[in-house]
Structure 1
Amino acid sequence: MSQDTTKQTQNHKIAIITGTTSNLGTNIAYRLLHEIPSDYRLTLIVTSRTLARANECIHDIKKYNEQTTKRKGILDFDYLLIEMTDMVSILNAAYELKQNYNKIDYLYINAAQGVYAGLDWIQATKECLMNPVKASTYPTYKLQKVGVKSRDGLGLVFQANVFGPYYLIELLKELLSKSEDPRVIWISSLMSKPSYLSFDDLQLLKSDVSYEGSKRLVDLLHLAKYKQLYDQYGIKQYVTQPGIFTSFSFFKFLNPFTFYGMLFLFYVARLMGSPWHNISGWKAANAPVFVLTADIKHDKQDVKYGSACTLTGKEYLKNLEIDPTGKDDVLNYFQTLKLEWDEKLKNQITNTRKPYGY
């Protein structure tokens, strides 16, 4: 490879953001426009379940660039239609990427599927009156369905938030390794306490806190895999959490009154000293974007990088220790399940397509 070609490759960054159409995913994209040097070519691969939402998200990011960052280098887009609760969809997505790209620099795992059934309003009122900070940081009044499976027969939240993304990373390891500085960034959560996960129920089918349990699995899987990914493939993996911010995933259970009540509660919690109430998606994306430039010699990989802010809303980073109990058991389970799905998917026929040009 000539020196000019090497420089062109280094100066072209390709980023995949799963869940790009969410508030956090879109703000990660916005911040990447600032973080990646302006004269570099930047390709953003937008993921969505539908082409319409992917188009909408691409339009928003283009508009943001035109009005704000005005990058000097080429900014182009591609879309990737992927459903993390469908293993064939994941296989097809990986196949398309391998056909259309010779490297991937950054892969964001921003999966946040929940199976919510509503709110326990009586419990919510009690918690908010007794302890507003705890009520808006570790709520127990969000009702979640139990035993929901995907069409693949796996625990739906388990597959969407952890196993599906894990399988995608495994399929893309070689492509990531071709980057000069490949990074995988998992988006975890504050709500990932060890108590939310039972090792007798790793697919979270018996759990009434399956979302929180899935994020605990993310933490453990990261601890079990990051050294191997770097030693074997040169991939630097980090786990982050965005703090508390306005997410649109729960909007259907809120009316305008309760939505603004929620915002008010967030500000109250911040004024009472909570460092985690970022509220805006932009501040929530701070830690996920910071780790793109983290140095593994000085920035530890066995911690969770958190987006935090002061009473006045000034953003900063706050690291959290991760309890490693059970990480090896989790990895063994995932490796075994991967082999089962490798066998199930080995005869799948996939179709390629041309990249989505803008």
Structure 2
Amino acid sequence: MTAEDNHRIAIITGTSSNLGINIAYRLLREVPSDYRLTIIVTSRTLPKAIESIESIKKYDETTTKRKGILEFDYLLIEFTNMVSIRAAVYELEKNYTKIDYLFINAAQGVYAGIDWIQATKENLTNPVKACTYPTYKIQKIGVKSKDGMGLVFQANVFGPYYLIESICQSLMSNSPDARIIWISSIMSKPSYLSFNDLQLLESDVSYEGSKRLVDLLHLSTFETLKTKYGIKQYVTQPGIFTSFSFFKFLNPFTFYGMLLLFYISRFLGSPWHNISGWNAANAPVFVCTKTDDDSRQDIKYGSATSHKGVEYLKNMEIDGTGKDDVLNYFQLLKKEWDDKLRDQIVDTRRAY
């Protein structure tokens, strides 16, 4: 076995989020300690990228204490900016010969607040449902990116898809065990997506609709990625956990009230209230490091936690209705952007 065989290179998008940073922590534990491991964190800003790197370094120094080489790089990428994605692809192709693991942890929302009256009604009548499938989060409608696409659609699905399509042949096919891990959601119900509004511009549940698109896009692409490039692709969902993105709408009282309801829901039998980012990262890291050629790729791997706080996996079947229509739309849109981005390359910076 060569030194290259013992080298794993992982890209974790959204590394600064609670889920993203815990994916990195768990990866330190699951990739053999004597392997060389390179973690490429992504962020929209340099300070956030460096902050994530320092957190992962500290975790290794205090907890995992890996024996092999642990190194870091950062990739400044904005999934709502196609030129930024193209520049990121250029950076990766310039600096690496392979990518082994790609975690798509995009979770952009366009939240405007909380309907507190509706939240109170739902939590009093059915607290488990209210904490699992809430309808009281208010989302803005019709928000577009500077590229003119639905912002949530581009950030959570099309932007990452464009990145995958851009590096699957040039970088990921060079790895003997390449894996793409999409982060979907427990809230990706078919009813949240209209095929007359695939960019989610008319939807008041654009976040949930984007995760339904993730499910369908995965189902329509995983077989081709495996047969054509040897890449294994999985879709996972992290359950319900504390997320930094919604903190601005909560004060200390409502935040701890939310945590209490999460624990009550878990006690009442909900498997999805993982609460901690560590437990939420279970399924994504499991499919990255512990599945084999016989593992199913047509299901959603879910992070779950028992009422005693013990983590486990709970897998879900996925309704594939409309997956071919979704793929056709994405392929056409990709071709449009290939033409628009032709010759647009930005030479940015070097490794951390």
Q: TM-score, normalised by structure 1?
A: 0.97
In structure 1, which of residues 59, 65, 68 is the aligned counterpart of residue 54 of structure 2? 59
Query: Secondary structure, in 3 states, of the residue corresponding to 2:39?
Result: strand
Counterpart of 1:30 (choices 22, 25, 28) is 25
Secondary structure at the aligned position of 1:7 is classed as coil
Q: Which of residues 202, 223, 229 in structure 2 aligns to 1:227?
A: 223
- In 2: Cα distance, 1:61 partner to 1:295 partner: 24
Partner of 1:3: none
Matched to 1:308, the amino acid is: A
Given candidates 330, 336, 340, the residue that maps to 1:340 is 336
Aligned to 2:158: 163
Output the CA distance in 2 between the equivalents of 1:252 and 1:352: 32
CA–CA separation in structure 2 for the residues paired with 1:349 and 1:333: 25
Partner of 2:250: 254
5 Å matches for 1:296-335? 296-335=292-331
Per-residue CA distance 1:76-107 (angstroms, 9 max, x = gap): 10000000000000000011000000100000
Give the CA deviation at 1:296.
Answer: 4.8
After TM superposition, which residue ranges in structure 1, 4 or more long, deviate above 4 angstroms?
Answer: none
Q: How far has the Cα of 1:180 moved from its partner? A: 1.5
In structure 2, how many angstroms separate the alpha carbons of the residues matched to 1:110 and 1:324? 21
Q: Distance in 2 between matches of 1:225 and 1:255?
A: 42
**Letter of the aligned partner of 2:15 in structure 1?**
T
Partner Cα distance (2:283, 2:227) in 1: 24
Identity percentage of aligned residues: 75
The amino acid of 1:83's aligned partner reads E
Gap runs ≥5 in structure 1? 1-5
Once the two structures are overlaid, the 10-residue window that deviates more, 159-168 or 172-181, is 172-181
How many angstroms apart in 1 are the aligned matches of 2:5 and 2:349?
25
Q: Which moved more, 1:290-299 or 1:56-65?
A: 290-299
Aligned residue in 1 for 2:195 = 199
Letter matched to residue 244 of structure 2? F
Q: Quick one: which amino acid aligns to residue 148 of structure 1?
A: V
The answer to whether the aligner puts 1:240 opposite 2:233 as a matched pair is no
CA drift at 1:347 = 2.4
Q: What TM-score, normalized to structure 2?
A: 0.99
Aligned to 1:78: 73
On the 8 A contact 1:95/1:352 being kept in 2, the answer is no
Aligned pair partner of 2:167 in 172, 194, 202: 172
Q: 1:295 to 1:285 in 2, by over 3 A?
A: closer
1:287-312 Cα deviation digits (max 9, x unpaired): 00000134454321000000001111
Aligned to 2:136: 141
Structure 2: runs of 5 or more not aligned: none
Question: Alpha-carbon deviation of 1:193?
Answer: 0.2
